[in-house]
A and B are shown apart, each in its own frame.
Chain A
Amino acid sequence: MVADMTQATPPSLEHVEYVLRLGDNALILGQRLSEWCGRAPVLEEDLALANMALDLIGQSRLLLTHAGRLEGKGRDEDQMAFLRVERDYRNLTMVEVPNEDFGRTTVRNFLFSAFQVLLWEKLVASSDSELAAIAAKSLKEARYHLNHSAEWVIRLGDGTEVSHARTQAALDYLWPYSAELFAANPTDDAVSAAAIGPAWGELEAAWEAMVLPVLSEATLVVPARTPFKTFGKFGRHSEHMGHLLATMQYMQRTYPGATW
């Protein structure tokens, strides 16, 4: 599908893990957003959420295919997406929590797509040329997701009493999960040392500079940081992940290897 990877040294486990995280973030949020199909508050938003889900699932196909090639065990995108167990998924916990209402879905899309835009901007210069190509493509899409969700955060936050209360509740719920965006383990250190991905310190301030003015314009109050920590990117997921996987993997688990 894509040009051969010719590398002098085999890719490190950390490299594979890092690409899996990116692929799983896109896959799991894509799955969550697709749950809105046919159920959004208005037709335009139904189409928008389905379109964003498609973009994310398209990105995850490229990333999981790449991760499978780097891993070198012959796993393709479908095996990566559908035939792993919960502990092998490396997505952020934030993307797996339930949609709840349009407010929470929108705030999550905003917090996450701001992170994605900044991350893809850095990954365009990755030492992994295939990852850099995927980043350049995904960046264009993520910018539309960011614009769209930022507009809605302002419209809902600075809207009616009810929309403000729901959006504030969404931010209160999601904000503690945002600490995980910038959490690091040895994978992150190895990846930034190899110039595959950026150091998180570079991104955290830029992310806050991007999201805080929009939240303020939306008249939302940003909660204080607490000791609450989540570890989805290290493979330790919330209680919601198993239910999501049961729905997502059902067909491949029932008919392994099925194609159509």
Chain B
Amino acid sequence: MLTESEAWKLLDTVPDPEVPAVSVVELGIIRELRCRDDGITVVVTPTYSGCPATEVIGLAIRDTLAAAGAGRVELETRLDPPWTSDWIGEAAREKLRAYGIVPPTGRAAVGGAQPIRFVKQALSCPRCGSRDTERLSEFGSTACKATYRCKSCLEPFEYFKPI
């Protein structure tokens, strides 16, 4: 059987399949580990309701822990409190940036009872550092990312949205 801290270390080697620069632990989706006599229970929260990576992540968690002799691995989904990009740690944010994805900053989308204006947010290009960038779309290759373009180096890049 594994100890809780051994299990945390192992899970920190499981990458997010959509954003392999960070682990599932760094992403903040592992909420709790409970060691039992015959195995371990992993409490996971989804990033987005429809994230297609959720099931792949579950399989990777099972495989990694089972291969290390964790016994029976049980997964439990916890929705409350909902996942927030604030749970991505500082080190992981730098890993995202180095990978070419601008880490989340500022506030999540807010929908109040007032006219919604075009939101302008100046992000620094992860490649050349220029702040002369523009948003192409609020959505990208996955639900968690928006698509931007750098007007200096002309390269596209992704932004991990705050949520």
* A interface residues with partner B (beta carbon < 8 Å): 1-3, 30, 44-45, 47-48, 51-59, 61-62, 113-114, 117, 129-130, 132-134, 136-138, 140-144, 146-148, 150-151, 154, 206, 209-210, 213-214, 217
Contacts and interface: CB of A to CB of B under 8 A. Distances in A.
Interface residues of B, number: 37
A47 B142 CA distance: 8
B82 A56 contact: no
Contact of B79 (A57, A62, A209): A62
Contacts of B142: 51
B3 interface: no
Which residue of B46, B84, B110, B113 has the most chain A CB atoms within 10 A of its CB atom? B113
21 contacts: A2-B77, A2-B78, A47-B139, A51-B139, A55-B50, A57-B50, A58-B50, A61-B49, A133-B80, A136-B81, A137-B46, A137-B79, A140-B84, A143-B108, A143-B109, A143-B110, A144-B109, A150-B116, A210-B113, A213-B114, A213-B115
A146 B110 CA distance: 9
Interface string B150-163: 00000000000101
A154 B163 CA distance: 24
Given A54-B52, A151-B118, A48 B138 contact: yes
A3 B81 CA distance: 13
B119 interface: yes
Interface string B41-73: 000001011111000000000000000000000
B138 A147 contact: yes
B140 A56 contact: no
A132 B81 CA distance: 10
Contact of B143 (A45, A55, A137): A55
A147 B50 contact: no
Which residue of B46, B49, B112 has the most chain A CB atoms within 10 A of its CB atom? B49
Given A55-B143, A136-B82, 8 more contacts: A2-B79, A48-B138, A54-B50, A113-B111, A146-B109, A146-B116, A147-B138, A151-B116
A143 B111 contact: yes
A44 B147 contact: yes
The majority secondary structure among interface residues of chain B is: loop
Contact of B140 (A47, A136, A150): A47
B42 to A, nearest CB: 13
The 6 closest A-B pairs by CB, nearest first: A58-B50, A58-B49, A54-B50, A44-B137, A133-B80, A48-B139
A151 B137 CA distance: 11
Interface in B57-106: 76-84
Contacts of A48: 137-139
Contact of B111 (A3, A57, A117, A132): A117
Contacts of A129: 80
Contacts of B119: 147
Given A114-B111, A143-B110, A214-B116, A62 B49 contact: yes
Contacts of B46: 58, 137
